[in-house]
Amino acid sequence: MPLTRSWHTVLFGALTLVAAGCSALGSGEPGRASDLERTTVVVGTLPIVDAVPLAIAQQKGYFDQEGLDVEVRSLPGGAAAVPGLVNGELQFAFGNYVSFFAAQYKGLLDVRLVADGYQAAQGMFLIMAGKGTRIDKPAELVGRRIAVNTKSNIVELTARSALEANGVDASSVTFIEVPFPDMQSAVERGNVDAAFMVEPYITQGQRKSGLMPVLDAATGATQDVPIAAWATNARFAKANPKTTAAFQRAIVKGQQDAADRTLVEQTTTAYAKVDKDTVALMNLGTWPTSMSAVRMQRVIDLMTQYGLMEKARQLNPASLIFSPPQS
């Protein structure tokens, strides 16, 4: 699927970024452009609040401090980041762990995880149904069509886990790919019976269309599950270690700043077509500032449970974490 430069319809608006910074992951001095292997990079990201640290880093000039010019491309889902990283169209990308791990497992991409991106919390991973429908509890999802942004990703796996934890045979459900921004209208038109939604679309759907939550997929076995990361191609990281470290410092600084809810709300309002009242009601996850192989193992275990990875051939997440060069 081609990448798009059209940011005015997605979360952060039309952006060509110049930004930079320091990070908890890759601590060190801000880089100078003359020290970097390359100064211009293309970053793929998603039109969801999960990736707001990129906009924060842009606002605060963290990439600029690192000597980086960052061009942002919009992606429909985390899986779309993989071909862009493989063919070099993207140097870095925000995507879900399942898509990155699956690509590594299948030999499609030798991935390096640069920074942890987002972690689940209650209320921000919801399966929603239309107002007035009979779908008001998990049992009513049996045999239904549920929208997911991408199949075989963190969304589908957490949906399957949550459904089965609530007594629903996940194999009875048909998952249909629908981009997050289009899920509300897909439910309204009856193209799907329910949708697995994230913010700001959860709150928008509740306020504008009366969508109702049926199941919280970030509870029980999937509570606090790691969702996404910022990643690159190992080939790029090896050839451009200083550039990769500079990006790492900048994006983790944005992750640190995202702990400030007021800043997240202001940034989302400024760059998205989301009104302040909606932003104030959003349920947010957390933005980690360090990488943890232990946390990542939870995702690998989910993938093994649902047949995306053989237990005997499980990945070692620690081997996929980018380590910045020692100065």
Residues 99 and 150 in one domain: no
Same domain, 92 and 233: yes
- Please report whether residue 56 resides in a domain: yes
The residue assigned the tokens 């949906």 is 159
| pLDDT tens figures, 131-152 | 989 999 999 999 999 999 999 9
Residues 302/161, Cβ–Cβ less than 8 Å: yes
Task: Please check whether residue 9 lies inside any domain of the structure.
Answer: no
The structure's pTM equals: 0.87
DSSP H helical ranges for the chain: 52-60, 62-65, 81-87, 97-105, 154-165, 183-189, 201-209, 234-239, 241-257, 261-271, 276-281, 293-305
For residues 321 and 250, give the distance between their C-alpha atoms in angstroms, rounded to a whole number.
17
Question: DSSP label at 2?
Answer: -
Nearest alpha carbon to residue 19 among 253, 238, 234:
253
C-alpha dihedral (276, 280, 284, 289), degrees to nearest 10: 70
Same domain, 79 and 166: no
Which residues constitute the domain of residue 175? 126-222
For the ranges 5-14, 127-136, 217-226, 307-316, the lowest mean pLDDT is seen at 5-14
Within-domain flag for 281: yes
Residue 147 falls inside a structural domain: yes
Q: Do 215 and 239 belong together in one domain? A: no
Same domain, 98 and 135: no
What the block records as the tokens of 129 is 């149904």
| Least confident interval from 208-217, 220-229, 266-275 | 266-275
Checking if the pLDDT of 24 tops 60, the result is no
How many other CB atoms sit within 10 Å of the CB of residue 36? 21
Same domain, 130 and 255: no
**Which of 198, 222, 246 finishes a domain?**
222
Residue 303: half-sphere exposure toward Cβ, Cα within 13 Å? 31
Whether 189 and 231 share a structural domain: no
- Say how many domains are in the chain: 2
